[in-house]
């Protein structure tokens, strides 16, 4: 299973990347804003910096909600680097844009997936990735992991190549459960990936060794 960092913070990306376990990055307009990156040129330059740092796929999200706007933005983002994947929302114009960008050879990540029907539509439109938001489903007393299992099952029934990218992943258990369900990718804050490393028994043994 691939690990993507869900952040636009270069230091945090670099910290996980240096461990040799980072396969890509996902971002969105709010993560960019959190880093104080504003304005089209600054945003493009920031994406370019991430693409240079990490060789895997980097999702860059469109902010338009109409077909023409998404196409214009999508083409612009795709020109930044070969490893850019254009992130498009699961709305009707978004589905049209997924199909059109795919026809142009531009890879896509369909975001804001909350049902297996939406995932199936995105896959039919040629999405490279679908991003079900597990944490936000859990937030409303649903079961995000059941959705991951359902999508993985449906895609496997038809050998669909679209990759299942578990998003809105909030804690290490979400990562482990995504792996159990067969998700192709998880994306989460780098701190959550780093939490996987820690175990009290490892630390205990390490401390004992250090004392002897
Ligand atoms: O991966 C999507 C992510 O950025 C949303 O996460 O925690 O705001 O639901 P969250």
Q: What are residue 80's phi and psi, to 5 degrees?
A: -60, -45
- What is the number of alpha carbons within 13 Å of residue 50 lying toward its C-beta? 34
Start-to-end C-alpha separation, the chain:
38
69: exposed, middle or buried (Cβ count in 10 Å: 0-12, 13-18, 19+)? middle
pLDDT of residue 45: 96
Structure tokens at 46: 């920031």
Question: Nearest Cα to 25, choosing from 9, 8, 5?
Answer: 5
Q: Of the residues 87, 92, 124, 161, which is catalytic?
A: 87
Q: What are residue 198's phi and psi, to 5 degrees?
A: -85, 135
Does position 32 have pLDDT exceeding 90, yes or no?
A: yes
pLDDT of residue 205: 83
59 Cβ inside 6 Å of ligand 1: no
Confidence at 13, pLDDT banded by 50, 70, 90: very high
Does position 190 have pLDDT exceeding 80, yes or no?
A: yes
- What is the number of alpha carbons within 13 Å of residue 54 lying toward its C-beta? 33
CA 177–ligand 1 middle distance (angstroms): 17
pLDDT of residue 191: 97
Pocket test for ligand 1, best of 7, 144, 168, 174 (most atoms within 8 A of CB): 168
* Cβ proximity of 108 and 137 under 8 Å: no
Residue 124: active-site member: no
pTM over 0.85: yes
Q: Strand pairing partners for 84?
A: 58
* Cβ proximity of 187 and 6 under 8 Å: yes
CA 26–ligand 1 middle distance (angstroms): 10
What DSSP string describes the chain?
-EEEEE---HHHHHHHHTTT---EEE--HHHHHHTT--SHHHHHHHHHHHHHH--SEEEEE----SHHHHHHHHHHHHTT-TTEEEEEESSHHHHHHHHHHHHTT--EEEEEE-SHHHHHHHHHTT-SEEEEBHHHHHHTT--HHHHHHHHHHHHHHTT---EEEEBS--SHHHHHHHHHHT-SEEEE-HHHHHHTT--HHHHHHHHHHHH-
**pLDDT tens, residue by residue, 41-80:** 999 999 999 999 999 999 999 999 999 999 999 999 999 9
Residue with tokens 């960008």: 101
pLDDT mean across residues, the chain: 96
Does position 149 have pLDDT exceeding 80, yes or no?
A: yes
């Amino acid at each position: 299973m691939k690990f993507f960092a869900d952040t636009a913070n270069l230091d945090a990306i670099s910290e996980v990347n240096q461990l040799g376990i980072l396969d890509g990055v996902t971002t969105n307009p709010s993560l960019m804003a959190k880093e104080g990156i504003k304005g089209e040129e600054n945003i493009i330059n920031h994406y370019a910096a991430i693409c240079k740092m990490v060789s895997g796929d980097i999702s860059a999200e469109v902010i338009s909600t109409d077909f023409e706007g998404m196409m214009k933005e999508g083409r612009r983002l795709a020109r930044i680097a070969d490893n850019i994947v254009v992130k498009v929302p699961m709305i009707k114009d978004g589905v049209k844009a997924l199909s059109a960008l795919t026809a142009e050879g531009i890879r896509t990540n369909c975001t804001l997936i909350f049902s297996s029907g939406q995932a199936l539509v995105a896959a039919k439109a040629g999405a490279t990735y679908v991003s079900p938001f597990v944490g936000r489903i859990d937030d409303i007393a649903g079961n995000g992991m059941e959705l991951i299992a359902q999508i993985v099952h449906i895609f496997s029934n038809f050998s669909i190549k679209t990759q299942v990218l578990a998003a809105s992943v909030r804690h290490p258990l979400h990562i482990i459960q995504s792996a159990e369900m067969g998700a192709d990718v998880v994306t989460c804050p780098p701190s959550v990936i780093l939490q996987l490393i820690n175990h009290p028994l490892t630390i205990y043994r390490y401390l004992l060794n250090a004392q002897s």
